[in-house]
């Protein structure tokens, strides 16, 4: 796989709160330099990032209902609409993990249907937080995401337990006959880490190590 | 043995990424045996919390723990909290604005939160002392006091730093009784809880709350 192709999968992620605007700007400029898919940020900084990214093809991923996901569907839709209005091209939202574990699938279907509708052509990614799920729950969460027409189902927020390639494989197997793709996030530091995830079906990579991954990539 | 002076200051929070209805039920059954101060939950679990916990002091987290939600979203959450009858909110300010020295943006954000709270509930601002210099801590507290917030929570936990007794002493030395302090992040045991209270903490949050109030060793 070509280096450019890997770069086009990277959501260059900066979510930690102890940074300043200069740091955010530097991350945005890196994304432009390496032609990453998007920068992934907290929604309060979309307006700033839009300015830093002006004139480039780099999108903006908003991290929504982050990192707990335990909001009512109405609250989630409010935040999604607000993020899109401000300039988000991708909406990564955390599903209601507790409701999934409680098998209250109607709640998750409802949030996804509403968010899909609110997103229109904006890319929607449902984060399922695999570190807290059984294999059956992971499969169910992927099925629900595909049924609702999510563009991607995403492994994790990156705040808690990191995903392993075997988990990506399980998700990919559930998604591969649907239009929904797999995003892996959390724990990828090197080109080798990324390669393992791509080999197991990842088509978007959520990472703060995008530069190391792309510069270290062997074609 | 339970230390009633610690127990009455306990802010408990069944906030975990995978918290289920059953988890909250169990949490409530245990917590309801004690004379705690309040409970903080996620917005989704608010109705359940009002039903299950014995005290009406229930609150939600707002932009927790990163502080990076937009002002519009923070306000929407606060409005929901007011509508549902919450007693308090734990809100994280815009830390990136603060780290950038952009107190204009950070203050406007908190001002909007206070306005939405409409004096109907206690606004608790999370200072995130573990990530801040002493100078930044003072600036955050000054900014909050300026917009009418006088209750400070020290930390969020989640690998974003720990609270030290010195943080409590520092804030108390600056503002005395004008402020109330809730310590969080670093309170594991009863002896630690007492130490923080002696330093001036008014309330405390602990994920190991049974140990912190002395109900378990």
One-character DSSP codes across B130-194: GGS-HHHHHHHHHHHHHHT--EEE----TTS----HHHHHHHHHHHGGG-EEEE-SS--SHHHHH
Using only C-alpha atoms, chain B has a radius of gyration, in whole angstroms, of 16
d(CA A165, CA B10): 41
Nearest CA in chain B to A132: B18
Over the stretch A175-209, which tens digit does the pLDDT of each residue have?
A: 999 999 999 999 999 999 999 999 999 999 999 99
- Check if the beta carbon of residue B10 is closer than 8 Å to that of residue B212: yes
How does the average pLDDT of chain B come out, rounded? 97
Burial of B25 (0-12, 13-18, 19+ CB in 10 A): middle
- B96 close to A (CB below 8 A): yes
Among A177, A97, A111, which Cα is nearest to A140's? A97
> What are the sequence ranges of the domains in chain A?
3-215
Across all residues in chain A, what is the average pLDDT?
A: 98
pLDDT in tens, A135-168: 999 999 999 999 999 999 999 999 999 999 999 9
Mean pLDDT of B34-48: 98
Using DSSP's 3-state secondary structure scheme, residue B66 falls into coil
Instruction: Give, rounded to a whole angstrom, the gap between the first and last alpha carbons of chain A.
Output: 6
For residue B213, the surrounding DSSP H or E stretch is: helix B209-213
pLDDT confidence tier of residue B188, bands split at 50, 70 and 90:
very high
Supply the CATH classification number for the domain A3-215: 3.20.20.70
User: What amino acid positions of A are annotated as catalytic residues?
Assistant: 92, 154, 183
Residue A27 has pLDDT above 90, yes or no: yes
Please answer yes or no on whether B100 and A21 come within 8 Å at the CB atom. yes
The DSSP H or E segment spanning B122 is: strand B122-126
Asked if residues B82 and B118 have their Cβ atoms less than 8 Å apart, the reply is yes
User: Do B64 and B92 form a contact (C-beta atoms < 8 A)?
Assistant: yes
Are A98 and B21 within 8 A, CB to CB?
A: yes
Residue A75's H or E segment, with its range, is helix A73-86
Residue B81 CB contacts under 8 Å (≥ 6 apart), including other chains: B43, B46, B59, B60, B62, B89, B117, B121
Q: Which two tokens stand for residue A33?
A: 């330099």
Answer left, alpha or beta for residue A213, where phi above 0 means left and psi between -120 and 50 means alpha: alpha
Quote the ipTM score.
Answer: 0.97
Q: Counting every residue, how long is chain A?
A: 219
Alpha helix stretches (DSSP H) within A150-190: 165-175
A18 has pLDDT over 80: yes
Beta-carbon contacts of B112 under 8 Å, excluding residues fewer than 6 positions away, are B71, B74, B75
Which one of A43, A62, A64, A68 would you mutate to disrupt binding with B, by most B Cβ within 10 Å of its Cβ?
A68
For B163, counting Cβ atoms within 10 Å of its Cβ (0-12 exposed, 13-18 middle, 19+ buried), the class is buried
**Joined tokens for residue B173:** 């030395």
Question: Is residue B157 scored above 80 in pLDDT?
Answer: no
Chain A contact present for B214, CB below 8 A: no
Residues of A in contact with B84 (CB under 8 A): none
Give dist(CA A142, CA A176) in Å, integer: 10
Select from B20, B72, B77 the Cβ nearest to the Cβ of A98.
B20
Residues B170, B134 contacting (CB under 8 angstroms)? yes
Tell me how far apart the alpha carbons of residues B60 and B89 are, in angstroms, rounded to a whole number. Answer: 5
DSSP notation for A82-112: HHHHHT-SEEEEE--HHHHHTT-HHHHHHHH
Find, among A109, A69, A103, the residue nearest to B43 by Cα. Answer: A69
* Yes or no, beta carbons of B15 and A68 under 8 Å apart: yes
B163 touches chain A (CB under 8 A): no
Chain B: nearest CA to A16, how far in angstroms?
7
If you average pLDDT over residues B169-182, what whole number do you get?
A: 98
Mean pLDDT of B38-46: 98
Task: Quote the minimal CA–CA distance from B197 to chain A in Å.
Answer: 28
* Tens digits of residue pLDDT in A76-131: 999 999 999 999 999 999 999 999 999 999 999 999 999 999 999 999 999 999 99
Instruction: Please indicate whether, in this complex, the C-beta atoms of A78 and B76 are within 8 angstroms of each other.
Output: yes
pLDDT at A5 over 90: yes
User: Exposed, middle or buried, B198 (CB in 10 Å: 0-12/13-18/19+)?
Assistant: exposed
CA nearest neighbour of B154 among B192, B100, B121: B192
The whole-angstrom distance between residue A92's C-alpha and the CA centroid of its chain comes to 5
Query: How many angstroms separate the CA atoms of B41 and B58, rounded?
Result: 8
Determine the pLDDT at residue B158: 77
Question: How many Cβ atoms sit within 10 Å of the Cβ of residue A179?
Answer: 9
């Amino acid at each position: 796989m070509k280096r450019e192709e890997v770069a086009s999968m990277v959501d260059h992620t900066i979510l930690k709160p102890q940074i300043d605007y200069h740091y955010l700007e530097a991350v945005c400029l890196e994304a432009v330099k390496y032609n990453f898919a998007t920068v992934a940020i907290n929604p309060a900084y979309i307006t700033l990032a839009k300015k830093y990214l002006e004139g480039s093809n780099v999108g903006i991923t908003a991290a929504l209902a982050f990192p707990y996901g335990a909001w009512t569907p109405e609250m989630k839709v409010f935040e999604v609409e607000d993020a899109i209005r401000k300039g988000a091209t991708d909406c990564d939202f955390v599903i209601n993990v507790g409701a999934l574990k409680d098998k209250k699938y109607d709640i998750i279907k409802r949030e996804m249907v509403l968010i899909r509708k609110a997103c229109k052509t904006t890319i929607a990614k449902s984060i399922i937080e695999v570190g807290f799920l059984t294999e059956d729950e992971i499969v169910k969460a992927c099925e629900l995401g595909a049924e609702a027409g999510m563009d991607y189902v995403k492994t994790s927020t990156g705040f808690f337990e990191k995903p392993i390639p075997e988990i990506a494989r399980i998700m990919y197997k559930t998604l591969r006959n649907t239009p929904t793709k797999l995003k892996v996030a959390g724990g990828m530091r090197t080109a080798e880490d990324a390669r393992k995830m791509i080999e197991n079906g990842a088509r978007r990579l959520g990472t703060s190590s995008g530069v190391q991954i792309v510069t270290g990539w062997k074609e | 043995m339970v230390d009633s002076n610690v127990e009455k200051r306990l802010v408990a929070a069944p906030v975990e990424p995978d918290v289920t209805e059953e988890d909250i039920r169990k949490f409530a059954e245990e917590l309801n045996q004690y004379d705690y101060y309040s409970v903080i939950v996620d917005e989704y679990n608010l109705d359940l919390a009002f039903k299950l916990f014995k005290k009406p002091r229930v609150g939600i987290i707002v932009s927790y723990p990163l502080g990076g939600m937009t002002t519009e979203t923070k306000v929407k959450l606060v409005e929901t909290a007011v509508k549902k009858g919450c007693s308090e909110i734990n809100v994280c300010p815009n830390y990136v604005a603060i780290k950038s020295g952009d107190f204009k943006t950070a203050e406007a954000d908190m001002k909007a939160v206070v306005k939405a709270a409409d004096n109907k509930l206690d606004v608790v601002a999370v200072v995130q002392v573990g990530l801040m210099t002493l100078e930044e801590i003072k600036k955050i507290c000054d900014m909050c006091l300026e917009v009418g917030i006088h209750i400070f929570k020290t930390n969020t936990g989640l690998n974003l730093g720990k609270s030290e007794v010195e943080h409590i002493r520092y804030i108390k030395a600056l503002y005395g009784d004008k402020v109330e302090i809730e310590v969080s992040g670093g309170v594991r045991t009863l002896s630690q809880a007492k130490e923080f209270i002696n330093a001036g903490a008014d309330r405390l949050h602990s994920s190991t709350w049974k140990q912190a109030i002395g109900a378990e060793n």
